[in-house]
Amino acid sequence: MLRSESESGAQPLWRNRDYNLWWGGSAVSQLGSSVSQLAYPLLILGATGSASSAGIVAACTNAGYLCASLPAGVAADRASRRSLLMVSTVVQLVFMAAVAGAVADGHVWVWQIAVTALVQGVMSAAHDAAEAPALRRIVPPDQLKVAYAREHARGMGAQLVGPPFGGLLFAFSRWIPFAFDAVSYFFVTLAAVFIRSPLGPDRPEGEGGAWPSSVRQDVSEGLRFLWRDSFLRFALFWAALSNCALAGLVFMFVVVLRHHGASASVIGSAQAIVAACGLLGALVAGWIVQRVSGLRIILTMSWLMAAGTVGVAMLASQPWLAALCFGGLLFFMTPLNVTFQARMAGIVPDRMTGRVMTAVSMAAQCLKWLAPLVCGALADHFSPTVPVLGLAAVFVLLAVANQMSPEIRGFDDADFRASEKRSGAGSHDVPSGEITTEN
């Protein structure tokens, strides 16, 4: 279980100035991203009526993040992390402000929005790669688990508030959600500027401060480590497919509700219900993983993915019930992430955490760009229900694979906790990259 702040020797996190700056700036930024995430498909669907066009924009974000992940991870271990945090957010501010200006002038250019989404994906990869190790410079090691738990809750909270807020802003005027997102990047940039703690990385000692290996050697070492471990190999393949299907469901949730006549405010409220379920899952994740075995969490979540997706397809005409089905799927998402992170903490050596983190993130998202494209095309040629049922079939296949996989069937939490205790793995060893992602 997480140690309380009073049990640690350091001051409480709420009195940590740098942590509060980082948490507050990131909270505003995540709220802005949640607002624009809803506004993107609504804007494209309203202007073109094409789910394929909306899928192209969503795919650009995922493709940009995927292509930049590994280079960003190496850069975060070699270049100024503070500079990466600042540059990545300023670039996103400029591009998002340009979209807001164009929409305010009455122009909806799909190519501009697609380029902006691509740049956002690249810059988000750079920001995430620098943020994870920078957090370890801000928060004492014995408080990192508390900080990670609050990070999950912050993200879910932004997803809870952002969609209905974004729907209201979009209903008032289509350009406002994008202007709001642009302003949110300003706050996270200020947070990076005013954090006092050195964020690193530290230069190597000797040899004039030069790095002992090349960038290619750094990347290759991390990839070789991932490939040699049978559990990590299975987890990466499973994560790539499940995240692809989940990305398709996130995209199709808006499309299918819109197809059945739901308004922007209703869709935003439905997404808020989904986020509320995810937030509840984040809040009780610690309690769940202490009382339910990792094997049961993995298998249960796998079948809930399939059941929840079928529920979305069958109940799309009733937004609140469809939202509860989707939310039930997300409830166990954080416990599942924690389960995989804990196992990785016992496998990955600390000196390789940065490279392995970005490799895991890239593998988990390598197919996400494909889902909106395929789902959008199927929705245009058939109906939105068809791709949703197709996603349910993918989740069923993944659940069957988990039932049959020796790597998962041999997942023994009791033995793992004992080995973790013997190895002395602590919270500072936990990679912040997640095997699965949420909306």
pLDDT of residue 431: 38
Distance CA 218, CA 362 (A): 16
* Residue, of 420 and 230, whose pLDDT is higher: 230
* Residue, of 214 and 212, whose pLDDT is higher: 214
pLDDT of residue 50: 78
pLDDT of residue 8: 46
The 10s digit of each residue's pLDDT in 219-238 is 777 778 878 887 888 878 88
* Residue 300 structure tokens: 């249960």
Stretch 276-294: mean pLDDT: 76
CATH architecture group of domain 16-197+219-429: Up-down Bundle (1.20)
* Residue, of 273 and 4, whose pLDDT is higher: 273
Q: In the chain, pLDDT over 90 holds for what percent of residues?
A: 10
Distance CA 92, CA 174 (A): 19
The 10s digit of each residue's pLDDT in 196-212 is 888 777 665 545 555 55
Q: How buried is residue 356: exposed, middle or buried, by Cβ count under 10 Å (0-12/13-18/19+)?
A: buried
pLDDT of residue 38: 81
pLDDT of residue 75: 81
Distance CA 223, CA 219 (A): 6
Closest CA to 32 of 219, 197, 159: 159
pLDDT higher than threshold 60 for residue 351: no
Q: How far is CA 211 from the centre of its chain?
A: 30
Q: In the chain, pLDDT over 70 holds for what percent of residues?
A: 81
The 10s digit of each residue's pLDDT in 147-189 is 766 777 787 778 778 877 888 888 888 899 999 999 999 988 8
Give the CB-side neighbour count of residue 153, counting CA atoms within 13 A.
Answer: 13
Confidence bin at 412 (pLDDT 50/70/90): low
* Residue, of 79 and 64, whose pLDDT is higher: 64
Are 189 and 89 in contact by the 8 Å Cβ rule? The answer is yes
pLDDT higher than threshold 90 for residue 389: yes
Stretch 394-422: mean pLDDT: 69
pLDDT of residue 149: 65
Listed by start position, the domains of the chain span 16-197+219-429
Mean pLDDT check: name the lowest of 128-137, 333-342, 396-405: 333-342
Are 162 and 37 in contact by the 8 Å Cβ rule? The answer is yes
pLDDT of residue 426: 39
pLDDT of residue 391: 92
Are 80 and 193 in contact by the 8 Å Cβ rule? The answer is no
pLDDT of residue 119: 93
Alpha carbon distances (Å) from 152 to 284, 285, 388, 438: 11, 10, 27, 10
Closest CA to 315 of 246, 400, 392, 241: 392
The 10s digit of each residue's pLDDT in 86-133 is 999 999 999 999 999 998 988 888 888 889 989 998 998 888 888 877
